[in-house]
Structure formats: C-alpha cells, structure tokens
Amino acid sequence: MYKIYWTAADGAARSEDYVDMVEALTEANRLRNEGRAYVAMVSENPNQVGRMGVDAVEDGRLPGGEAYTWKMRRT
C-alpha cells in the first residue's frame, strides 16, 4: 500500500491510496508537474517486525536486552 500526500491549491491537505508502486510514482510525478506543493509518497513495509530505530540505551543495553556495542570508528 502506498499513500500520496499533497497540498491542494486552497491550502488543504489531501491524500490518496494506491496499491501499485508504479501508479503511485506516476501520480506523484503528475502532481509535482502540476505545481502542487509538498507532494510526498509513503509506504508501509509489511515485512518489518520491530520498531524503527532505538528508543533508548540504558546501562549499555538496547530495549530488547541485547548489548549495545556499536562504536564509531574513524579512518
């Protein structure tokens, strides 16, 4: 599922759902070419099983209990 958001000429927010990615991309491109403002396309990943990112690292542990061991390395 894909959703396109844009701002209409009257300043109101609008959205429309699409099942096909090519159709959604084509519509987003058409809206941009018409001069619509703030055109954005989003999608939902049905294969994602966890939350995006990490909320917190407490006492060296991630929310799931795993040790947080990442360190930035400069070359």
Other Cβ atoms within 10 Å of 4 Cβ, number: 21
Query: Where are the domains positioned within the chain?
Result: 2-43
| 1-33 confidence digits (pLDDT tens) | 899 999 988 989 999 999 999 999 999 999 999
What is the chain's mean pLDDT, rounded?
Answer: 86
- What is the b/e burial string over 12-43, where b = at least 16 CB atoms within 10 angstroms of the residue's CB? eeeeeebeeeeebeebbeebeeeebeebebee
Does residue 53 surpass a pLDDT of 70? no
